[in-house]
Amino acid sequence: MGTSVSSGITKIGLVTATSLVIANMVGTGVFTSLGFQVGEIPSPLPLILLWVVGGIIALCGSLSYGELGAALPRSGGEYHLLSTIYHPAIGFMSGWVSATLGFGAPTALAAIALGKYTAAVFPFVNETHLAGGAVVAITAIHSYSIKTGSLFQVSSTALKVLLILVFIAAAFFTPEPQHISLIPTWQELQLIITPGFAVALIYVSYAYTGWNAAVYIAGEVENPEKNLPNALFSGTLMVLILYVCLNYVFLYSVPMTELEDVVEVGFLSASRIFGQAGGELMSMVISLLLVSTVSAMVFVGPRISMTMGEDMPLLSVLGKKNAKGIPVNALLFQMTVTLLFIYTSSFEQVLIYASFMLTLFTSMTVFGVFVLRWKNPELPRPYKTWGYPITPAIYVLLSLWIMIYVLLDKTTETLIGLGIGAAGLIFYAINALWFSPSSTITEKE
């Protein structure tokens, strides 16, 4: 079921939780990343393998998160999990990054892309104001009721998957298809172990960002011990298949020389498949897909700042819910952050430093499976990570490999991301000092 009602509060079912995972992942990343990758990896097979490797990393992460989310079922994602496993300061820093870079920035980028694709067909539309208006309207829907928001989310995600499947099927009727060999050569295998492959994976990691979406709303999921792991794994697996097929279609329909440094990959591919009119139609299709992405991020993101508000006095206003159990203040906070990004952000820089920081904190969370089993072996675990300890180790090691090369190749963007994380740590320290028991006692004395 999509939703259920318990004690007057609507709970989120398996279908809605899975649709949130799918919708959070399938957005701007898969329709823009290939153009950035072709320059580093000028060969079809390694490019497709990028998406397979990225999907395997995400699947290993989802299996690990399934155990943590079922054992510690509270909304807030990495903020809650890292606070419990390591220390509240680390949890707050990850929550700070998630509330700004993790959801505010990608929501803005999805909304900006929605505006651009719509303006490509209707030039009279102001793309920036359309992006901002879409965020405001979708926030209003999710502020009204969880049931209405869930219905909107499930229907928009179903439409998104259907349209992608239609596009994939239509691609095989391309008038002038490109030859793609899936038989590996020695040169192609060498590309897979190069720094360029690792750096290209950061774009893929961004496209897969959202595989952990259901954990952010764990406290609102019906029967989380069962539904959380199922939603995480099944949603991620479905997206892996869609991504591999989509990128095969892009390479099958467009010459690689035309793809390099192109952002509107979907538009270019559709123009090759259907002609110019088809390219314009694809612009509107992608706009519809991005509505679902914006909706999923608006739904999930505020649950982080809500949980932080429940724990920290300085942010207590964000922890308040209305009579329907909706964190309206947190929704308005994320909407404000998103609108700021819409009017000020630069796509590629935001993508890189957001991806680096999110990879850092998800890696720490996945490693938390090892830490929690060591620290709390008696903790009830309704679900245990399949393939443990290999699957979490694969995630951590491959993520570390990616981060090292990104740090070396994109140093400035990486340092910006680390600086934003450090700002969260400073805010945490101020809150701890201001509201510490010792300072309260001193004031009373």
Which fold is adopted by the domain 3-429?
Amino acid/polyamine transporter I (1.20.1740)
Between 88 and 152, the higher pLDDT residue: 88
Residue 282 and residue 95 in contact, taking contact as beta carbons nearer than 8 Å: no
Q: Express as a percent the part of the chain with pLDDT over 70.
A: 89
- Tell me how far apart the alpha carbons of residues 177 and 199 are, in angstroms, rounded to a whole number: 28
Between 39 and 107, whose confidence is greater?
Answer: 107
φ/ψ of residue 239, rounded to 5: -70, -40
In 71-100, which positions are buried (b, 16+ CB within 10 angstroms) versus exposed (e)?
bbbbbbbbbbbbbbbbebebbbbbbbbbbb
Question: What are the φ/ψ torsions at residue 9 (nearest 5 degrees)?
Answer: -110, 130
Task: Write the pLDDT tens digit of every residue in 277-313.
Answer: 777 777 777 777 778 778 877 877 787 788 778 877 7
pLDDT at 7: 44
Distance between CA atoms of residues 322 and 246, nearest Å: 41
Q: Over the stretch 50-64, which tens digit does the pLDDT of each residue have?
A: 899 989 999 999 889
Secondary structure letter of residue 177 according to DSSP? P
Give the start-to-end residue ranges of the domains of the chain.
3-429
pLDDT digits (tens, 9 = 90+) for 217-249: 666 677 777 777 888 888 889 999 999 998 898
Q: Supply the pTM of this predicted model.
A: 0.74
Under a CB-based contact definition with an 8 Å cutoff, are residues 18 and 234 in contact? yes
pLDDT tens column, 99-133: 777 778 778 878 887 887 788 778 888 888 998 99
pLDDT confidence of residue 370: 96
- The residue-averaged pLDDT of 162-169 equals 84
